[in-house]
């Protein structure tokens, strides 16, 4: 039976903590099932960690990177809730990728390394926005 992911408080550095969904792999190793907002931990990474006194863990290091390419974008407010972004994200899933969203406008994409999917071009094609990190004005750019 495959180990189940659980939410664990992760002490990242200098008092910075984040609750992450992790799967215990044994010997102080965990696979991240979600990406961290505050550190370089991405969905699919395997980390080494030590137990903390309160039931959480202290990150030691990332020991194996995710097999996916991870992109982190700040998406303009007008695009973040659009149908066009939804269509773009469906395309991401169709090519074998997945995505996460945090804090409203932080979009985290996970794409197959060998997929040949040009996320920036596809984002522009679906949203009309040249770059996910610039302001766009809806249909004026489509």
Domain range enclosing 19? 6-64
Domain boundary among 14, 48, 64: 64
What per-residue confidence (pLDDT) applies to 131? 64
Residue 57 and residue 105 share a domain: no
Q: Are 9 and 19 in contact (CB under 8 A)?
A: yes
Give 26's strand partners: 29
62-99: pLDDT as tens digits: 999 999 999 988 888 888 888 899 999 999 999 999 99
What per-residue confidence (pLDDT) applies to 1? 66
46-72: pLDDT as tens digits: 999 999 988 899 999 999 999 999 998
The structural domain count of the chain equals 2
Residue 19 neighbours by CB under 8 Å, 6+ apart: 7, 8, 9, 10
Domain annotation covers residue 1: no
Residue 126 and residue 83 share a domain: yes
Residue 95 and residue 37 share a domain: no
CATH code for the domain in which residue 118 is found: 3.30.1370
């Amino acid at each position: 039976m495959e180990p189940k992911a659980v939410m664990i408080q992760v002490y990242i550095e200098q008092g910075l903590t984040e609750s992450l969904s992790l799967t215990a792999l044994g010997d102080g190793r965990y696979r991240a099932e979600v990406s961290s907002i505050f550190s370089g931990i991405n969905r699919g990474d395997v980390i080494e960690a030590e137990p903390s006194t309160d039931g959480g863990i202290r990150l030691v290091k990332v020991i194996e990177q995710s097999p996916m390419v991870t992109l982190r974008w700040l998406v303009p407010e007008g695009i973040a809730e659009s149908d066009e972004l939804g269509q773009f994200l469906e395309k991401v899933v169709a090519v074998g990728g997945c995505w996460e969203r945090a804090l409203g406008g932080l979009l985290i994409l996970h794409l197959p390394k060998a997929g040949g999917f040009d996320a920036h071009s596809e984002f522009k094609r679906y949203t009309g926005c040249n770059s996910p990190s610039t302001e766009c004005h809806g249909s004026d750019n489509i």
